[in-house]
Chains A and B, each alone.
Chain A
Amino acid sequence: MGIVSPGFTGRRRSAEELPPGQYLTHDFPVLSAGPTPQVRTEHWEFTVTTESGAKHKWDWAALMALPSEEVTKDIHCVTRWSKLQTEWQGVSLDTLLADVETGADFALVSSYGGYTTNLPLDDLLDGQAWIAYEYEGEPIHSEHGGPARLLVPHLYFWKSAKWVRGLTLSDTEDFGFWETAGYHEYGDPWKEQRYAGD
């Protein structure tokens, strides 16, 4: 379908390479569906539950004891802002899942406050995902998901669950919060997979 919007000229982008339909922001907008949960690190726990029901748990001290990585990544929100070269520190999911025995294909991520999101387990592995606890050198502010959030920067940012508390691994794909509400089950920004069927 090709219509022209009469009188619209638009602002052409700078040379920076963004996924289709995104625009650049230098702020860090906040998007969440409810009040910001205040999660204290002394009560924080991260649990991986496998398809056989086995549970692997880390408290804050255990997370801090793991080797961490500094990563600089572009992030893309489905509400169309992109932010380039954001700096995070966190523990790779490769590290956390190293001793987890699983043949599952999918992960349902859950958060303090009740949020969930789903993605293929493969997208959490091979240096693609972290449990991040610092943003730009500071502890992550609670409204941006602190004390710890998932970081999966190659997918739209709703997959990078704030206030993360666990993963449930499964052979079947169970949809999370926004996916149930009509957003895309995978969410690749470069393919502009915003909504179901895109």
Chain B
Amino acid sequence: MERTAVRRRLSWQVATVAEVRRETATASTIVLDVPDWPGHLAGQHLDVRLTADDGYRASRSYSIASAWTGTSSTIELTVEQVPDGEVSPYLVGVLKPGDPLELRGPVGGWFVWKPEQEGPVQLIGGGSGIVPLRAMLQAHTASTTPVRLLYSVRRPESVIYVDDLKHLASADNVHVSLVYTREAPPGEPRVGRIDAEVIDRLAFKPTDDPTTYVCGPTPFVETVADLLVAAGHNPDRIRTERFGPTGG
């Protein structure tokens, strides 16, 4: 392991909410204007800090939902409301356009995809685990690398980024598959979790040597990563991001 050349201090900065877009019954995308945003890689996250009028503070980390274009000062977060959460209900239900929001980032240099990376990309998301994968898909729009997304949701209404995914999937080198665990739309006979058969049918093969990104709740990530390893995928090529049940 080597030292990084620059150890930049992450300072808090004030973003302004430009838009709050409802994605599902429990998730919203928050569009933020961040004038001094230093840029980020697809897959990185940031910290959000809320302050009550008596000075009480609470912070949480959220994946960045959008790719960095290099010119715009806009970034997006998509937040799934956690029942009994402290921060997420505020972000999803209270925050409105024009409000300030303190944040700092970007953070994380492992669960990232860079356009110059070679080889196919396998994305596997469960629930709101789609968020950093969506940033990767956005970052990929100018790339010729083949990408497959396997997205596990409970039911059709749970799909985040419905229109966006349709649009992204129209590219020749992007393949999007949805897996429904509770209820499928008409015409989709399979209801059930991702299993070895789904991996075999819809994911890149180990011989394709993809870089694989798995994101979702811990049991989802554990199961999928184990299935991939059992199917012969190199564990060193599988990157995971686990959303704990206590994300708040």
- Whether A53 sits at the interface, judged by CB under 8 Å, is no
A interface SS class: loop
Name A1-49 residues within 8 Å CB distance of B: 1-12, 21, 23, 25, 27, 29-37
- Closest residue on chain A to residue B48 by CB atoms: A5
Known pairs A34-B239, A79-B61; A195 contacts B10 (CB<8 A): yes
A35–B210 CA distance with the chains assembled, in angstroms:
15
Chain B residues lying within 8 Å of A181, measured Cβ to Cβ, are 108-110
Contact B50 A10 (CB under 8 A): yes
- Whether B18 sits at the interface, judged by CB under 8 Å, is no
- Whether A120 sits at the interface, judged by CB under 8 Å, is no
Report the count of interface residues on A (CB-CB < 8 A).
49
Contact A30 B222 (CB under 8 A): yes
Contact A10 B4 (CB under 8 A): no
- Whether B236 sits at the interface, judged by CB under 8 Å, is yes
Chain A 118-143 per-residue mask, 1 if CB under 8 angstroms from chain B, else 0: 10000000000000000000000001
Chain B residues lying within 8 Å of A34, measured Cβ to Cβ, are 225, 235-236, 238-240
Chain B residues lying within 8 Å of A32, measured Cβ to Cβ, are 240, 242
- Closest residue on chain A to residue B86 by CB atoms: A11
Name the distance in Å between B116's Cβ and chain A's nearest Cβ: 18
- Whether B100 sits at the interface, judged by CB under 8 Å, is yes
Chain B residues lying within 8 Å of A80, measured Cβ to Cβ, are 59-61, 248
A103–B112 CA distance with the chains assembled, in angstroms:
38
Known pairs A175-B3, A177-B110; A29 contacts B246 (CB<8 A): yes
A197–B102 CA distance with the chains assembled, in angstroms:
18
- Whether B201 sits at the interface, judged by CB under 8 Å, is no
Report the count of interface residues on B (CB-CB < 8 A).
51
Contact B107 A195 (CB under 8 A): yes
Contact B51 A8 (CB under 8 A): yes
Name the distance in Å between B53's Cβ and chain A's nearest Cβ: 5
Contact A35 B9 (CB under 8 A): no
Name the distance in Å between A192's Cβ and chain B's nearest Cβ: 10
Contact B2 A5 (CB under 8 A): no
Residue of B50, B56, B109 near A182 (CB, 8 A) is B109
Contact B56 A10 (CB under 8 A): yes
Contact A2 B108 (CB under 8 A): no
A30–B216 CA distance with the chains assembled, in angstroms:
12
Contact A8 B50 (CB under 8 A): yes
Name the distance in Å between B135's Cβ and chain A's nearest Cβ: 17
A113–B236 CA distance with the chains assembled, in angstroms:
8
Chain B residues lying within 8 Å of A10, measured Cβ to Cβ, are 50, 52, 56-58, 86
Contact B4 A180 (CB under 8 A): yes
Contact B94 A7 (CB under 8 A): yes
A33–B14 CA distance with the chains assembled, in angstroms:
30
Name B57-84 residues within 8 Å CB distance of A: 57-61
- Whether A174 sits at the interface, judged by CB under 8 Å, is yes
Known pairs A34-B236, A80-B59; A4 contacts B9 (CB<8 A): no
Residues of B within 8 A of A (CB): 1-4, 7-10, 12-14, 47, 50-53, 56-61, 86, 90, 94-95, 99-102, 107-111, 218, 222, 225-226, 228-229, 235-236, 238-240, 242, 244-246, 248
Residues of A within 8 A of B (CB): 1-12, 21, 23, 25, 27, 29-37, 79-81, 108, 113-114, 116, 118, 143, 174-183, 194-198
22 A-B pairs, CB-CB below 8 angstroms?
Answer: A4-B51, A4-B52, A5-B95, A5-B102, A6-B100, A10-B50, A23-B86, A23-B248, A25-B246, A27-B244, A29-B245, A30-B218, A30-B222, A30-B244, A34-B235, A80-B61, A177-B1, A177-B110, A180-B4, A194-B47, A195-B9, A196-B4
